[in-house]
Amino acid sequence: MFEANVYVNRRRALLEKMAVQSAKGIVIFLGNADAPTNYRGNDYKFRQDSNFLYFWGVDEPWFAGVLDLDNGDECLYGNDVDIDDIIWMGPQPTVASKGNAIGCAKTLPLAEFDKAVTAAVSAGRPVHFLPPARYYNQMKLAQLTGIPNAIVRKVGPIAEGGASEELVKAVVALRLIKEECEIEEMDKAAEIGYWMHTEARRGCKPGVLEQEIVGRMEGVTYSKGWGPSFTTILSQNGETLHNHSHHQIITPGRLLVVDAGAESNTHYASDFTRTYPCSGKFTTKQREIYDIVEQANELAFSLTKPGTSYWDVHCATVRYMLEQLKALDFVRGDVDEMVACGISGLFMPHGLGHNMGMDVHDMEDLGENYVGYGDERQRSPLLGMGNLRMARNLKPGHVVTDEPGIYFIPALIEQWKREGTDKGFVNYEKLSGYYDFGGIRLEDDVLVTEEGSRRLGPYRLPIKSSDIEDIMSKE
Amino acid sequence: MFEANVYVNRRRALLEKMAVQSAKGIVIFLGNADAPTNYRGNDYKFRQDSNFLYFWGVDEPWFAGVLDLDNGDECLYGNDVDIDDIIWMGPQPTVASKGNAIGCAKTLPLAEFDKAVTAAVSAGRPVHFLPPARYYNQMKLAQLTGIPNAIVRKVGPIAEGGASEELVKAVVALRLIKEECEIEEMDKAAEIGYWMHTEARRGCKPGVLEQEIVGRMEGVTYSKGWGPSFTTILSQNGETLHNHSHHQIITPGRLLVVDAGAESNTHYASDFTRTYPCSGKFTTKQREIYDIVEQANELAFSLTKPGTSYWDVHCATVRYMLEQLKALDFVRGDVDEMVACGISGLFMPHGLGHNMGMDVHDMEDLGENYVGYGDERQRSPLLGMGNLRMARNLKPGHVVTDEPGIYFIPALIEQWKREGTDKGFVNYEKLSGYYDFGGIRLEDDVLVTEEGSRRLGPYRLPIKSSDIEDIMSKE
């Protein structure tokens, strides 16, 4: 939690951004409820709604907040505890003291929040809210506002009666540019991610069950932070981008993709990917591809700075990879034409990176186009390019991931071959020797600065193929 | 996952138990959806609905099942994957093959489930469902059946139009008695819990942050199983029964309560509590109370067998504790009278234990009284006794926790003193020296057998005060 002023300033800035759009009425923020795993009362580890946390700071379930756009009033809603709560959960600070900690003088019991919302609805005042991530909040907002469940998550101008586009734009504008206090927390999240990945690399030994490594590395995130910032990807089937099964044994000759990050206790994310040779040494075939990805990661980093867009960085990076794949005879023909018709999507069906902050894909639930594109450009329809989550002109305070990859996905290759998607650029004969290769991805977290950019965290995970082999031989 | 026959038999047994109650119509089971942490797509680790898992076995999101009570038909609903899914999640077995694995010949896409339910509703056929734990399922059931959201979780005879009491009773009768294949899994969950707690005990050293220990012990559960079976309680404020904050430093002279368990990869739970002296040695004051609780745990275990009820075991155990507390002059007067008016609730405001299975409080969402009481007896209104979750006559195949505790809760003591709740039995002068004592709880998991009972797991965590001191001095 930050100083009270941080939250006061954010709420003030939000009021200003709403005023610029001539928005009237009230803005409501629902904090998260507890989320049951198998029964109510046996809950997943509590995670506050990121937007609530950003403006209201209270990291506990069953809170809400209201900002009045017409008179600037604000109120934090939550319930004080009774003797039963004290027996089970211990003495707790009052809601008033929690309001005080975030510079909000007015606090009321949670039931008053419901009344405030229904009163505004009855009076015909606009009620601005963000599309809710959680089903409970979706249900609750539909109940309170009378808006059908399916519309509650649909973002559009407030006049259309769903989630408020005006509010989404205002929040995105604020959260995209990280404050100094946030950057400090992101450096901490990156450091936890460093230790998490170090545990993974040390665990990557033939004969070990993948799940064993996942448990140990996630244990690090619980010891030092909130936990993993997303479900850990650790797989020898790295060609599957989000592989969440961990039932295989580490086998010499294969590659292990580890894509994982930590969330700090203050709920800022990190997200790194490394790819290791299971035997400790890359084969020639593996090293050829690995070095292309490693150089692509380096190139993207060097291009990441104010004055360019992440769209352009993505294009330059996939162009580089296609050049190198051409040199190895995976593709044949004019590289510019290949970039233009999206041939890189066969090898890297995802984008170069995404925004990161309190969410590992920052604000993804507000709509990827609002977050990563804004009014600056249109999303591409191509595979790969079309999956780019962040395309904006870069500004100091942006945090993005730099995560090129090359994968050999048999089902996708077969589909392209069958449907002629490659327009004759692809050498399928060469590819036929790579169906059991897997995939390689290498990812760092990058802060855009005034001068250029810097990688987050106090240390960088080893990445050069020679460094990886060297350190693995010693561990 | 078990053999197909296990699921076939369970569904058949359910049909029989429904027939005995003359139930007509269909029984529907909604599997769980993914549960978002901070945005849709960034989900908590998937946990299937326990009832769905019990009857349908499929451990993946977005499945459902229907049993027809009138003709015995059954169908598993789920969607096969497309090329996009393969790129992101890898090739997946078909829904038909998943049906095959649980002995269900008929499978259909998930959208057909919605149609089957709405068709039954339109035709006026009874639709039996269990009260949903998750908000998504609550929302979905309300939509499909037209039953108001608030009523969907209300259990009563099917004619009353909410969740089906007939179905609840049938499911409770089946799940309460553990099959051999389940007991094997519970022994495995207990073994993971053993290693989890061993990690905790080894980490209990002055100067260590509580969170550091929690992370390491939870890491063990992720390495060897699904994860923690509930949010780990690890606290030097052990007088707070469910303390989930871990920001304190281990401090010599205090007691550390560790109440935690693991869930196996097949989703069976364990649940153990141990209490450690932070300095490695108990003080005389601590040892006096500790030994009472340890003997109470032992007494309860020795009484746990067919032919008695857990209600009686609870009563005998708190009676023993009151006798000992009387010997130490915490209470004065007739012990039988104290038991009758619930004086033990001041020291142990919870019950002796609960049922355990796929849920750590087994089937809690179906209603604690259906699960732990049935028609056998009425719940007590007294503090402590009234919180007893399991009171049934014991039968082979029951799994219960044995978890007596003694706590000194300043807010509760003050309330009793103020309100005269103790009826003169309590020696507040003696208690005034224990406001900074904390609490002690000692818990094992016990299977009721034909002959008596046995503790689950291949090893028992050290529990005698001398054994604890001995092992801590060596670690």
The CATH number of whichever domain residue B442 belongs to comes to: 3.90.230.10
Domain membership of residue B74 as a residue range: 4-176
Note whether A193 and A316 are same-domain residues: yes
Please indicate, yes or no, whether residues B408 and B391 belong to a single structural domain of this protein. yes
**Confidence band for A307, pLDDT divided at 50, 70 and 90:** very high
| Coil vs helix vs strand at B256 | strand
* Dist. CA A309–CA A305, nearest whole Å: 8
Q: Buried (b) or exposed (e) across A273-312, using 16+ Cβ within 10 A?
A: bbbbbbbbebeeebbebbbbbbbbbbbbbebbbbeeebbe
Q: How far apart are the first and last CA of chain B?
A: 37
Cα Dmax for chain B: 75
Closest alpha carbon within chain B to A384? B87
What's the pLDDT tens digit per position in A67-100?
999 999 999 999 998 877 777 777 788 999 999 9
C-alpha–C-alpha distance, residues B45 and B225, integer Å: 12
Which residues in chain A have Cβ-Cβ distances shorter than 8 Å to B135?
33, 35-36, 134-136, 139
Mutation target among B30, B32, B38 for the A interface, most CBs of A within 10 A: B38
Reduced to 3 states (helix: H, G, I; strand: E, B; else coil), residue A170 is: helix
Total of domains in chain B: 2
- B176, B202, B220 — which closes off a domain? B176
Query: What angle separates helix A284-303 from helix A310-327, to the nearest 10 degrees?
Result: 150
pLDDT above 80 (res B88)? no
- Asked whether residue A198 falls in the same domain as residue A166, the answer is no
Question: Does A280 share its domain with A146?
Answer: no
Partner-chain contact A39 B363, CB within 8 Å: yes
Q: Are B462 and B280 in contact (CB under 8 A)?
A: no
Q: Do residue B24 and residue B136 come from a single domain?
A: yes
pLDDT at A123: 97
Q: Do A139 and B143 touch (CB under 8 A)?
A: no
* SS3 track for B104-129: CCCEECHHHHHHHHHHHHHCCCCEEC
pLDDT of residue B330: 98
d(CA B198, CA B461): 8
Encode pLDDT of B248-269 as tens digits.
Answer: 999 999 999 999 999 999 999 9
Same-domain check for residues B201 and B133? no
A-chain residues within 8 Å CB-CB of B223? 211-216, 219
Domain boundary among A133, A155, A176: A176
Domain end point (choices A132, A153, A176): A176
| pLDDT mean across residues, chain B | 96
Question: What's the confidence (pLDDT) of residue A150?
Answer: 87
pLDDT score recorded for residue A451: 96
Chain A partners of B212 at a C-beta cutoff of 8 Å?
A: 223-224
What's the confidence (pLDDT) of residue B168?
A: 98
Q: A206 and A115 share a domain?
A: no
CB spacing of A88 vs B242 below 8 angstroms: yes
- Record: contact A89-B139, CB cut-off 8 A: no
Separation CA A74–CA A78 (nearest Å): 14
A473 exposure class (CB count in 10 Å sphere: 0-12, 13-18, 19+): exposed
CA angle B250, B251, B256 (to 5 degrees): 60
Q: Which residues in chain A have Cβ-Cβ distances shorter than 8 Å to B139?
A: 135, 138-139, 149
Kindly list the residues from chain A whose CB atom is less than 8 angstroms away from the CB atom of residue B241.
87-88
Same domain, B352 and B267: yes
The values of phi and psi at residue A316, to 5°, are -65, -35
Across the interface, do A237 and B90 touch by the CB < 8 Å criterion? yes
Q: pLDDT confidence of B406, banded at 50, 70, 90?
A: very high
3-state DSSP call for residue B227? strand
Q: What ipTM score was computed for the predicted complex, to two decimals?
A: 0.95
Determine the 3-state secondary structure of A226 from DSSP: coil
Average pLDDT over chain A reads 96
B87–A411 C-beta distance less than 8 A = yes
What residues does B260 pair with on adjacent strands?
B272
Q: Do A218 and B222 touch (CB under 8 A)?
A: yes
By C-alpha distance, the chain A residue nearest B52 is A38
Task: Look at phi and psi of residue B231 and say left if phi exceeds 0, alpha if psi is from -120 to 50, else beta.
Answer: beta
CA B459, B463, B469, B473: dihedral to nearest 10 degrees?
A: 20
Note the pLDDT of residue B439: 95
CATH code, domain carrying B89: 3.40.350.10
- As a whole number, mean pLDDT of residues B437-454 equals 97
Residues B96, B199 within the same domain: no
Of A62, A163, A231, give the one whose Cα is nearest residue B41: A231
In the prediction, which pLDDT does A87 show? 77
B52 and B192 belong to one structural domain: no
Q: Do B53 and B132 belong to one domain?
A: yes
3-state secondary structure labels for all residues of A315-376: HHHHHHHHHHHHHCCCECCCHHHHHHCCCHHHHCCCCCCCECCCCCCCCHHHCHHHHHCCCC
Q: What contacts A462, CB < 8 A, 6 or more positions away?
A: A201, A274, A468, A471
Of B91, B143, B222, the CB nearest to A215: B222
Upper half-sphere CA count for residue A352 (Cβ side, 13 Å): 30
Q: Indicate whether B190 and B135 sit together in one domain.
A: no
